[in-house]
């Protein structure tokens, strides 16, 4: 995990000593495909933003890494796209060109030759889950990581939660059994100690993610975000990230 984080954030080293960086999440689509966009943003010399991050097409789990800049005021944005976190010195697979402004990123994706491939549209405003109801019991695994989830939500209110993971061969595990709900716009938030679990809707999927859960996990254990479809099946959002 340490190596992955270093690689993903390497393009942000120029502002590593500032406190103005932020991570922004967007839900939306590329063409007709639902996708999640995560951008790490920091100031550039001209008053705009330097950006690095990734997008994941949820239907195919295609993952692409991004790097570029957004201009000040009007937010004209160009992001080079690649298959690895380090894009410097490597030919891009394409570009996302558009405007990043007012919590929305809209524009077109272009091939390396400059041909427009498809339109995209992302927003930091996620749908309300006040009416969300589901009973989920599922398992997901990849490599040496496995995860199980049992969750019940009724009309946007948490009824029960049990989320566990394990990393072999060390056997380090995470265990979240029970949580309290907090108010959240554009999703659901559950808290267990310092651990925060967020539920958000992206297209036909619901994503479950966790932050600050070291107290509930062994040294090498973690909780990889899960995607839950309408049938209650789940899969790992980034099965190759660790």
pLDDT tens sequence across 69-102:
999 989 999 999 999 888 777 888 999 999 999 9
Measure the CA–CA gap between 173 and 218, rounded to whole angstroms. Answer: 5
User: What was the pLDDT predicted at 16?
Assistant: 39
Percent of the chain with pLDDT over 90: 78
In the chain, where are the structural domains located? 2-123, 134-236
* Beta carbons of 51 and 41 less than 8 angstroms apart: yes
Bridge partners, 173 (sequence order): 166
pTM: 0.84
């Amino acid at each position: 995990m340490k190596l992955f984080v270093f690689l993903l954030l390497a393009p942000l080293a120029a502002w590593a000593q500032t406190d103005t960086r932020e991570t922004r999440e967007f839900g939306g689509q590329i063409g007709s495909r639902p996708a999640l966009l995560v951008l790490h943003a920091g100031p550039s010399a001209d008053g705009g933003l330097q950006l690095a991050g990734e997008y994941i097409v949820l239907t195919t789990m295609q993952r692409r890494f991004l790097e570029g800049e957004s201009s000040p005021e009007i937010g004209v944005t160009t992001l080079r796209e690649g298959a690895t976190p380090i894009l410097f010195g490597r030919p891009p697979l394409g570009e996302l060109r558009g405007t990043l402004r007012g919590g929305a990123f809209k524009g077109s994706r272009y091939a390396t030759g400059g041909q427009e491939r498809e339109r995209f549209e992302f927003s930091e405003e996620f749908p309300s889950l006040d009416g969300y109801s589901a009973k989920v019991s599922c398992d997901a695994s990849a490599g040496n990581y496995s995860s199980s989830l049992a969750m019940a939500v009724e009309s946007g209110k948490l009824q029960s939660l049990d989320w566990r993971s394990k990393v072999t061969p060390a056997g380090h595990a995470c265990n979240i059994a029970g949580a309290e709900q907090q108010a959240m716009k554009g999703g659901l938030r559950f808290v267990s100690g310092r651990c925060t679990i967020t539920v958000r809707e992206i297209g036909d999927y619901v994503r479950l993610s966790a932050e600050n859960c070291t107290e509930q996990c062994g040294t090498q254990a973690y909780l990889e975000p899960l995607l839950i479809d309408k049938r209650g099946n789940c899969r790992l959002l980034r099965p190759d990230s660790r």
